[in-house]
Amino acid sequence: MTRYILRRVLGAIPLIIAIITIVFVMLRVVIPGDPVYMLAGDTASPELIERIRQKYGLDRSVFEQYLTFIKNAVQGDLGNSIKFGEPVIELIAKAFPFTALLTGLAVGVGSGIGIVVGVITAVKRDSWIDKVSMLAVVFMNAFPTFWLGLILILIFSVWLRVLPVEGYATWRHLVLPVTTLSVGQAALIARLVRSTMLETLDSEYVRTGRAKGLRERRVVLVHALKNTLIPTITVIGLSTASLLGGAIITETIFGLPGIGRLTIAAIADLDYPLIQGTVLLVAVVFVLANILVDLVYAAVDPRIHYK
């Protein structure tokens, strides 16, 4: 198992380097704008502009900047933020725990609801419960994240005044953001679990279990659901990284102190080091999520072994 994990991590390094290289080049070659002028202002003197360029190494060629970035990144140094003037690694360390909490709650709540709805609709196939639930799932899956967040703010913060709209101080500030992120997750998991569960319930071994007199609850929750979890785990793991992208919009809408809001601020000011740091973080999280999915496979299905 250890050898397998090490092999996966080493195999992911070229992918991470490729992602960060593309972002690095695009920031300096493709995307218009100059972070130095945005920091110093249009009326800054040429001498001040030049000093700022030298301070952040922007006076060197793109290739030299790239080599310096890779060398420092290997040592755990992602540079200093142009906007905030602090080390990027410290800014990320402050913001990431909140984003991890928000994403974890969204994955847990959304996946839990999705699994329950998927199982119930599969068991109650073609009933009014199944039809109403699937209609609601399709409706929820069609909501863009930003639009749903604004609607929830309008209803629960503006009209009903029962939940706060911005900032983070108590658990009540997490209700709307977590709901915003978890609705799409719940809809996705519910559809997947229902379709997989229907196929599993029609399989030969389930019919055999029923013929032997096993209780229906045991057939559904132990035998059928366990096999349904394999593809579900894959989707949950991959959607975790996707929800980090959704957190960028959600944190901005609700004014939350996470990686998403930090990324938006970095993009608005063309803060090269901070953008590169947040992209690197998302790439690493995506890789780790895939490895974790494989490990959970082995725990759920004893037939799976990694060498």
Contact 294, 8 (CB under 8 A): yes
How far is Cα 62 from Cα 40, in angstroms, rounded to an integer? 21
pLDDT at 89 over 90: yes
Per residue, the 3-state secondary structure of the chain, as one string, reads CHHHHHHHHHHHHHHHHHHHHHHHHHHHHHCCCCHHHHHHCCCCCHHHHHHHHHHCCCCCCHHHHHHHHHHHHHCCCCCECCCCCCEHHHHHHHHHHHHHHHHHHHHHHHHHHHHHHHHHHHHCCCCHHHHHHHHHHHHHHCCCHHHHHHHHHHHHHHHCCCCCCCCCCCCHHHHHHHHHHHHHHHHHHHHHHHHHHHHHHCCHHHHHHHHCCCCHHHHHHHHHHHHHHHHHHHHHHHHHHHHHHHHHHHHHHHCCCCHHHHHHHHHHCCCHHHHHHHHHHHHHHHHHHHHHHHHHHHHHCCCCCCC
Of the two residues 93 and 202, the one the predictor is more confident about is 93
Indicate the average pLDDT of the chain. Answer: 85
Among 198-207, 219-228, 297-306, the minimum mean pLDDT is found in: 297-306
How far is Cα 265 from Cα 261, in angstroms, rounded to an integer? 6
Of the two residues 270 and 215, the one the predictor is more confident about is 270
pLDDT at 179 over 80: yes
% pLDDT > 90, the chain: 23
pLDDT at 157 over 70: yes
How far is Cα 25 from Cα 19, in angstroms, rounded to an integer? 10
Contact 39, 83 (CB under 8 A): yes
| From-to residues of CATH 1.10.3720.10 in the chain | 90-300
Averaged pLDDT for residues 83-105 = 91
Second CATH level (architecture) for the domain 90-300: Orthogonal Bundle (1.10)
For tokens 């699937």, name the residue: 134
pLDDT at 94 over 70: yes
For tokens 């709805």, name the residue: 117
Of the two residues 165 and 103, the one the predictor is more confident about is 103
Averaged pLDDT for residues 38-44 = 76
Measure Cα distances from 142 to 146, 229, 279 in Å. 12, 24, 27
Residue at 82: amino acid letter: I
Instruction: Label residue 152 by pLDDT band (50, 70, 90).
Output: very high
